[in-house]
Amino acid sequence: MDAVHVGRQPIFDANGAVVAYELLFRGRMDDVASGRQDTYATSTVMINAFTEFGIGEVAGNRPCFINLTREFVTGRLPLPFGPEQVVLEILETVTVDDEVIDGITALAESGYRIALDDFVWGSGHERLLGLASYVKLDLLDGDLSRLDEIVTACREYPGIQLVAERLETAEQVAIADHYGMELRQGYALSRPQVLSTPSLSPSRLRRLELVAALMHPDVRLDKITAIIVSDPALAMRVLRVSNSVAAGVTSRISSVRQAIMMIGLTHIRRWATLMVVDDVAEAPEEQLLTALTQARLCENLGPRFGVDPGAAFVAGLVTGMARLMGITPAAMTDQLPLAVDVSDALTFGTGRLGRLLEAVRAYEEGDWGSGDLAGPALDAMRWSTRTLSAASRFAPA
């Protein structure tokens, strides 16, 4: 089983309370000090934080600072999330020109908060001060001889908070105090923590197929749903994304189709595009076949148990994926905005859906007295095999 990782470094206020996190690319569990800041790193951080962990697991309700490269700033790659819980950190390596200014202006006008990373006066980034909510000042390797000038210039913009970063000594913390810098970040306060979680990546072909389908302006929701439910890993990512969208929303989902409708096709398109950029290794299809077959079997049995087939598919999917990832369905349910009946069935085995899941479990363990499930199970296996083999026929050699 593969694992995915995200680095998380707290950002503190002057009183020592954690008020935000910066999310960082990490390729391995022990990769505490990775400095990779390219488009791949940004894409991977977004995908992992929002679709593998779920942003609530990573940051609770605190904002997350996420590094942006030029491709995201200028809109050549889409941002797949709204502005509610993110701060867009403009890397110092981004050359400020009219295209970048236009892109950041559009992002700020859409409600995104902007942070200027490793701010250096004279680099061109001073042109962005009117759009920024945060300016990060490097107190380890930065030019401290111009600090008076820089802080004075930033204080002319009342909406800007200063973030003292790379604090490694008590002297550097004292400098932050002297200038009244509102926020602080660095090893003297807290080193980055690497978070890890098991992962099954959606197949590369499924992502490409989804992106291609979404390019058609009149694409039918049924087609998008069919592509997503045919790949368990992709379906789980969509469910996790819907959890971040569902914050503050009273409705809960009971099918993949509802999750897609909650997110919206525009944001589904953005996430799918980002997954192609991320382009991690293709999931072993024999692992996915088991989860996909279980989800389809539950869907087939829905009418027999008086359960909505879409809800049955989701319950079977969560059960199968949890098994592959070595966690309980209840633990996975905590990360998803599932309807109460679906959540209770997965956690406590209650209701008609709980009885359906128990019947499937008993059948898989050889309890033939659980009902005549051989026919539906064979149909589910055929459907799953056909779905995955159809993908492999068109996969590039």
Lowest pLDDT segment from 64-68, 146-150, 213-217, 356-360: 213-217
- CATH code linked to domain 2-196: 3.20.20.450
Can you tell me the distance from the alpha carbon of 271 to that of 267, in angstroms, rounded to the nearest whole number? Answer: 6
Query: pLDDT class for 392, splitting at 50, 70, 90?
Result: very low
- Angstrom distance (rounded) from CA 261 to CA 242: 9
Answer with the residue of higher pLDDT: 317 or 16: 16
- Asked whether residue 195 carries a pLDDT value surpassing 70, the answer given is yes
Query: What does the pLDDT average to over 109-137?
Result: 94
Q: Which residue has the higher pLDDT, 27 or 207?
A: 207
Q: Are 225 and 258 in contact (CB under 8 A)?
A: no
Which region among 18-22, 76-80, 275-279 has the lowest average model confidence (pLDDT)?
275-279
Which SS3 state, helix, strand or coil, does residue 72 take? helix
Please give the Cα distance from 207 to 357 (Å, whole number): 29
pLDDT at 350: 95
Q: Where are the beta strands (DSSP E) in the chain?
A: 2-13, 18-25, 64-68, 86-90, 113-116, 134-138, 161-165, 183-184, 193-199
Residue 169 scores a pLDDT above 50? yes
Spatial separation of the C-alpha atoms in residues 62 and 9, rounded to whole Å = 12
Q: Which residues contact 179 (CB under 8 A, 6 or more apart)?
A: 147, 151, 162, 164
Mean pLDDT of 87-107: 94
| Helices H / strands E in the chain, number of each | 17, 9
**174's tokens:** 């004292």
State mean pLDDT over 108-120: 94
Confidence at 215, pLDDT banded by 50, 70, 90: low
Spatial distance between the Cα atoms of 386 and 397, rounded to a whole number of angstroms: 19
Answer whether residue 234 shows pLDDT above 70: yes
pLDDT value of position 30:
45
Q: What is the pTM of this model?
A: 0.61
Other Cβ atoms closer than 10 A to 225? 20
The tokens for 310 are 């879409």
Distances (CA, A) of 101 to 75, 94, 291: 12, 11, 46
User: Please, what is the average pLDDT of the chain?
Assistant: 81
Work out whether strand 183-184 and strand 161-165 pair parallel, antiparallel, or are unpaired. parallel
Q: Where are the domains of the chain?
A: 2-196, 200-394
Give the closest residue to 278 by CA, choosing from 95, 80, 83: 80
**pLDDT for the residue numbered 21:** 94
Q: In the structure encoding, which two tokens stand for residue 365, read together?
A: 């363990």
pLDDT at site 279: 43
CATH no., domain 200-394: 1.10.3210.10
